[in-house]
Amino acid sequence: MKRLTRLLLPALLAALLAGCPNSRSDEKALENTLTAFASEFRWGEDIERVFAYFDPEDADKLRPKPLELERWKQYRVIGYREQPVVWNGENSAAQRTELELVNRHTQITRNLRLTTLWRYDDEAERWYLDSPLPTLSP
């Protein structure tokens, strides 16, 4: 039994560490980015400020279309509950968030699940949002 433990323990540790960030500074940088991103959603009056988190090279394909953007502008975030970050490798992470929105015109609330995918760019030394915002159907 001890021999089996000695053989399996290093393999298990290696598997667990494979999904961890490559350094404490990357983890802290992501934490800072997520805090700023959440702040934009929670308190920001202009949804377009969240687009600054898109990689400029990918921004056009990730930005909402004009009609969808107008839908987002009709809502205000009144709740933002984050789940823990899930590391998908050393330069990739994901986070699920439950948004509570209120329509500015009707005052009707709705809940929306937001899954954000984040990618670290070594060259730019920053985390970019690598997923579009969810669609708000009427």
Q: Which amino acid is at 47?
A: I
6 or 102: which leads in pLDDT: 102
- What was the pLDDT predicted at 106? 96
- Residue 59, in any domain of the structure: yes
CATH of the domain at 99: 3.10.450.50
Give every CB contact of residue 87 below 8 A, 6+ residues apart in sequence. 19, 20, 21, 93
Q: Would residue 2 count as lying in a domain?
A: no
Residue 11 located in a structural domain: no
pLDDT in the model for residue 46? 87
Q: Does a structural domain hold residue 47? A: yes
% the chain with pLDDT above 90: 72
Q: Which residues constitute the domain of residue 99? A: 23-129
- What is the average per-residue pLDDT within 82-98? 96
Question: H or E segment at 82?
Answer: strand 75-82
Q: Is the dihedral of CA 28, 29, 34, 36 positive or negative?
A: positive
In a domain, 12, yes or no: no
Task: Give the pLDDT band of residue 7 (cuts 50, 70, 90).
Answer: very low
Q: 138 falls in which pLDDT band (50, 70, 90)?
A: confident
Q: What pLDDT band is residue 23 in, cutting at 50, 70 and 90?
A: low
Res 58 pLDDT > 70: yes
- 62 pLDDT more than 50: yes
pTM of this structure = 0.79
Q: Judge whether 3 lies within some domain.
A: no
Does residue 9 lie within any of the structural domains? no
Average pLDDT for 17-46 = 80
In a domain, 5, yes or no: no
Question: In total, how many domains does the chain have?
Answer: 1
Inform me whether the pLDDT recorded for 12 exceeds 90.
no
Helices (H), the chain: 2-18, 24-43, 59-62, 66-73
Please check the confidence at residue 8 and state whether its pLDDT lies above 60. Answer: no
